[in-house]
Amino acid sequence: MGRLTFGREKRGVSYFLFLLVASLVFYAWHIPLYLCLLLGVSLLNYSVAGVLSNPELGARRKKQWVGLALLGSLGTLGVFKYLDFFTGIP
């Protein structure tokens, strides 16, 4: 696989598409359901970034959107990484 990009400039769309597909296959290899989780959190953060790029949005509203993104990302991390530590549920 490394030979696909050897000696080429690593800026083209095909290179980034290859990296994206390889990453998704890697993350889905063990438990494919986690890929849905990863894509969901990524979609949430991408959507919030799109909203934040609106220059007409006020500072208070932007902070609310950032809070939503943080809640989604850190909430997911907390559930999947630390829930069993606090509750004893494996």
Q: Are 72 and 41 in contact (CB under 8 A)?
A: yes
Based on the domain organization, do 47 and 57 belong to the same domain?
yes
Based on the domain organization, do 15 and 50 belong to the same domain?
no
Please, what is the end-to-end C-alpha distance for the chain in angstroms?
37
Name the nearest CA neighbour of 45 among 18, 75, 17: 75
Based on the domain organization, do 88 and 47 belong to the same domain?
yes
Domain containing residue 65: 32-90
Based on the domain organization, do 26 and 36 belong to the same domain?
no
The model's confidence at residue 3, banded by pLDDT at 50, 70 and 90, is low
Based on the domain organization, do 54 and 22 belong to the same domain?
no
The answer to whether the predicted template modeling score (pTM) of the entire model surpasses 0.75 is no
Distance CA 64, CA 56 (A): 15
Based on the domain organization, do 86 and 68 belong to the same domain?
yes
Q: Are 48 and 69 in contact (CB under 8 A)?
A: yes
pLDDT tens digits along 31-89? 888 899 999 999 999 999 999 999 999 999 999 999 999 999 999 999 888 887 878 76
